Amino acid sequence: MSEAELSELAEALRIKYEQLQEGKPIESATEETIKSVLEGGVTVLAFLAKWCAPCKLYEPSLARVSNKLGEAGFYKIDVDEERELVREYQVNELPTTLVFVKGNLVWREEGAIDEARLEEVVRAALGKQSDE
């Protein structure tokens, strides 16, 4: 293998490692898909904006928790594109995180959440789901 090929491979591995550290990308939810999204067991909705610095810091934590707790559905909602959902869920601060169990809101937090706290909340919601 040439030095150029090794360098290219090393760069590809570095990028893949960074992606794994950050977690998988979170799917987007829209006004059209929200009802089907909430029909699942445990659903986490994160209201975010591309221009929001705290949102950018929060997204990798959200992705890592999503990777750990894949049995819950994790979705982001762009507040600039989904204004009706912002009104419906009365989002006044960014980021805002909502956790639902079978379509019922069980937890809400405004502002960025510590990764461990988010994981704790989602695990508790998963426990509630199995209790029902």
Catalytic residues: 52, 55
Sheet holding 27-28, edge to edge: 27-28, 73-78, 42-48, 96-101, 104-110
* Element at 110 (helix H, strand E): strand 104-110
Residue 71, token pair as written in the block: 């049995």
